[in-house]
Structure formats: structure tokens, C-alpha cells
Chain A
Amino acid sequence: DTEVTQTPKHLVMGMTNKKSLKCEQHMGHRAMYWYKQKAKKPPELMFVYSYEKLSINESVPSRFSPECPNSSLLNLHLHALQPEDSALYLCASSQYDSSTEAFFGQGTRLTVV
């Protein structure tokens, strides 16, 4: 099983809403990542969890709050987002760190209205 599963696939939310994106992998990977991808642009790293601890936060606004409940799950909690936060949010995992092959999920297409 080399799958990273993200839910939901699509999400439309208002600027006052609170929602969560979910990511799951059962490959035993110990590093998990959140990326943001705008149209026609490459993915940009947001957060890195290593062994369930937040190791990197790439200056992401506090309206994005990551959580790693266990080694298989990664959440991204969203609150008071802006329309410019609309993007494809990608979750990825790798065995130990970024020096090993990273597998990506299919992403959550987020639209903020």
C-alpha cells in the first residue's frame, strides 16, 4: 500500500467557517508534510512533522493549524481563511525525512468564499 489518502477532495468554506483537512497513510512513514499549490505553480511547503512532532513551519499564518494525532494521521485545521487561501492542499509522507521518496495524496481543492 503506497497510498496517501486525503479527505475531503473538495471543500468550499466561508471566511468565518472552521474546517479541517485530513490525511492518512499506512506505510509506516515517520515524516508527513502539508503543501499548498496554487494554479500553474509548484507545491510550496507549509509544515513538516517528523516522528509526530512539528519540525518545520514555513512562516504559515496562524489561521492554518496543523495537528498530528498519531504516526498515520495528519490534520490541517482551518479558521478565518481569506479568498487568497483558495488552493490545492497536498499531504505527503516519506519514510524518515526528506532524503527519502515522498508520496503525495490527491489533494483537497479548497475554495474560500
Chain B
Amino acid sequence: GESVGLHLPTLSVQEGDNSIINCAYSNSASDYFIWYKQESGKGPQFIIDIRSNMDKRQGQRVTVLLNKTVKHLSLQIAATQPGDSAVYFCAGVLDNAGNMLTFGGGTRLMVKP
């Protein structure tokens, strides 16, 4: 089965609200996770990363939370803006995938004005 996966294919939020995008990973150790944003017709853009020795990491308007107990990862976007509309992928370096970066299925975030 899939080693990294997202919970919801589509998320619709109101402009100004906070967004939470979730991701789960399989029963294998991982040292490193990355969230990417992909806009239509473009390549994935790095947003934020986190290593397994951390539970939380913050960037500009984004926070990534890692819960190793339940093997769950989330991306929180504060004060969501129309420019945040895109597909968001979580990716992890999994030891059952040859220690290569494996992408989850992606969540499309739609921001309503």
C-alpha cells in the first residue's frame, strides 16, 4: 500500500480562515518530511520541512506538526489567502522506500473569497 497518504483530496476554506491539511505515513521510520505546494502548470514548491527529532516547526504563516506516535503530519496555514490555492503534497523519506522521497496523494486547497 501507499507509504505516505493524505486524508482529504479537496479542502475548501474561506479567505482569512486557518487551513489544516493532514497526512499519515505507514509503519516505517522516517527521518524527514517535507510539505510542497504545487500550482497549476508549475513544479512543486518547497514550503517547510521537519525532521523526526522535532514535533513542530514554524515558518511564515505555516506550521508543520509531527506526531510520531500516531504517524501523522499536518500543515497549518494561518489567515489563508487566495494565493494559497494549490495542491499540497506531503513527502517523506521512508526507509521502506529505499530512503527516497515519497509523495503522498495531494490535497487541493480552494480558497473562497
Contacts and interface: CB of A to CB of B under 8 A. Distances in A.
Interface of A: 4, 6, 33, 40-45, 48, 56, 90, 92, 97-99, 101-107, 109
B45 interface: yes
A104 B43 contact: yes
Contacts of A45: 100-102
* Prevailing SS type, chain B contact patch: strand
28 contacts: A33-B101, A41-B106, A42-B89, A42-B103, A42-B104, A42-B105, A43-B103, A44-B103, A45-B100, A45-B101, A45-B102, A48-B100, A56-B98, A56-B100, A98-B32, A98-B99, A101-B34, A101-B49, A102-B46, A102-B101, A104-B43, A104-B44, A104-B45, A104-B46, A106-B41, A106-B43, A107-B43, A109-B41
Nearest to A48: B100
B44 A98 contact: no
B61 interface: no
The range of chain B's interface size is 20 to 34
B46 A107 contact: no
Name the 6 nearest CB pairs between A and B, nearest first: A42-B103, A104-B43, A104-B44, A106-B43, A98-B101, A107-B43
